Amino acid sequence: MLGKKGWTMLLIVVLASSVLSACSGNKANEAKGAVETEKSEGAASATSSAEAKPEGDNNPFGKIDPPITIKSVLGTAGWATFPDGETWDNDNRWTKLYRETLGIQLKWNWLVDSTQYDNKMNVSIASGDIPDLMVVSKKQLNQLVEADMVEDLTEVFDRYAMPYLKMQVGEALAPAQKMATYDGKLMAVPQYGGDPRDSLVSLYIRSDWLKKLSLKEPTTIDELVNVADAFVKQDPDGNGKPDTLGLGILSATMGGGSMGGFLNGFHASPDIWVDDGAGQLMYGSTTPEMKTALGKLQEMYKGGLIDREFGTKDYNRLKEDVVSGKLGIFYGTISESALIAVDLIKNDPKASWIAVPLPSVDGTPAKPSVGVSVGGFLVVKKGFSNPEAVVKMMNLFIQKVYGEDEFGTNGDNKTYAWVDNAKYAMHVLSPVQGYIKDYNYRLVRDALASGDPSKLNESLKETYDLVLGTDGSDPEKWQQWWIHQPAVSPFEVRDQYQLQPDGVVIDKYFGGSTKTADEKMSTLATMQNETFVKIIMNAAPISDFDNYVANWKKLGGDKITQEVNEWYASNR
């Protein structure tokens, strides 16, 4: 189940392109993310079935008659609050909706805090006492499939999944669907973590500083280094003090604020499995390109272009540097438009930002690299009479929280998702949850360009009016205004990457943790982080990268690579 951080990130993704659109809001941890998609090359739905479909109603929202009772379980979130009269285990709006619309009565085998959910589920699986419907991890799914304890959902998904869900699975959500597929059979419905490409990073730069120092947006690593040097040495804030920083990065190698975007500029793909050019997978953190990138960061650190305290900084401290006006360059996802960038504007309304594609070390465009995440896997107990219920429940969840299509048709998120201006997160009450890409940014952007909002739904029309009614001078409206200015928007950068076939490097391994990875990967990750930080801070020579790779292989990496490639050979 998604914990607080997971739901915060979902809120970031879904809250961005409307005042309360097919998911929206406006608070520090409610970053606004409009989402759009183009087809991922080679993505294919795992829903087709060679067998004839059973006779009967194929209505994705059809009511089951006679009604059924489903025994399920739920991980509760301590941070979530609800309106008076609604609780986790009473007859709340979601249990009523499933009963009245689909003929499904929910009964809880148990409820437990989400921090204890995984352990509780392990006990249930070990005892063989599992409910009719539940959310499990990839490791637990592997166990259940091996023990033949869950239903094959291939045919019911093919028959009952709403068209919008099928379209998304065939495009942006194909990696998640592959994670739930065993020998061509769909053994679970993923609680889709979203299009992995949504988490790609772009480069955020203080454009007012660029203008003051007569600098252009960097397109190459050398130009980026020159900008960082100028930001450190040429007093871009004009206070007469040498108190500004160069490139802001964290020791993390993926995600907002991390060094991942810089590494991508050298065509390195940290922390994911990539094609080695010979039909096998190799771990991206061990490639020669990674060594070259670390060498450049070491050079920049020695030159004072990276904060001396880089090795101990976390996300919040990087944000403090930005908001205080000390830092003007960092790598961020679309989320940082609301989690970091907007807070600088509130502190200094004269500041301005621009997001640009990743600078490259050579003439070959840099490609952002991203992992694949799934919020969990919905499984149905072997032998349950109505396995189609899980698909219908996901359809209904998607309809209410997002809508039935890219235009948000029939959505009702103001009742079933973020209620009372995002004060209440009502959707966590549902045991079935899902993510579907919406097209908010693109729809509003295009309507603003044409001056024609007639195709926008009510929520997106509110966003259209908000953006049209401001010029970016109001800090409270700045973020919505900014992300809809294509010339500077991180959403536009992301959109352009996604429009390119193979524009993003996506993790090619969807198999979950391997046996050796369960035992060794944490230790290997710690070794990686410590080595990279020491090299960058010039506490170790760049040659230590070769020692790291050798030790990584010897201490479990070779065995993990073997296991990953065994999976890859049978699942590519």
Q: Tokens 């970016």 map to which residue?
A: 472
pLDDT at 242 over 80: yes
Q: Is the peptide bond before 387 cis (omega within 30 degrees of 0)?
A: no
Confidence of residue 45 (pLDDT cuts 50, 70, 90): very low
The Cα–Cα gap between 20 and 420 comes to 10
Average pLDDT of the segment spanning 537-541: 97
State the angle between helix axes of 288-302 and 544-552 in degrees (0 to 180), rounded to the nearest 10: 140
pLDDT band, residue 552 (cuts 50/70/90): very high
pLDDT at 23: 34
- CA–CA dist 25, 411 (Å, integer): 16
pLDDT (average), residues 219-230: 98
pLDDT in tens, 306-349: 999 999 999 999 999 999 999 999 999 999 999 999 999 999 99
| For residue 40, pLDDT beyond 60 | no
User: Both tokens of residue 139?
Assistant: 């490791």
Average pLDDT of every residue of the chain: 88
CA distances from 407 to 198, 454, 461 (A): 19, 12, 11
Range with top average pLDDT, 54-68, 146-160, 372-386:
146-160
3-class SS of residue 363 = coil
Q: Is the pLDDT of residue 215 over 70?
A: yes
pLDDT at 494 over 90: yes
Q: What's the pLDDT at 54?
A: 35
The mean pLDDT value for 138-150 works out to 94
Predicted confidence (pLDDT) per residue in 166-208, tens digit: 998 988 888 889 889 998 999 999 988 778 899 999 999 999 9
Q: Can you read off the two tokens belonging to residue 115?
A: 């921090």
Q: Are 433 and 191 a contacting pair, CB within 8 Å?
A: yes
* Alpha carbon distance 493, 366 (integer Å): 13
Digit-coded pLDDT (tens) for 434-452:
877 778 899 999 999 999 9
Query: Hey, what's the torsion of the CAs at 342, 232, 199, 526, to 10 degrees?
Result: -130
Q: Per-residue pLDDT averaged across 283-293, rounded?
A: 98
Q: Answer yes or no: is pLDDT of 213 > 60.
A: yes
Residue-by-residue DSSP string for 413-461: HHHHSEETTTTEEGGGG-S--------HHHHHHHHHHHT--TTS-HHHH
The two structure tokens encoding residue 21: 């659109």
- By the 8 A CB rule, do 378 and 188 touch? yes
Please report which confidence band the pLDDT of residue 52 belongs to, taking 50, 70 and 90 as the band edges. Answer: very low
Measured CA distances, 558 to 53, 317, 393, 553 (Å): 44, 36, 42, 5
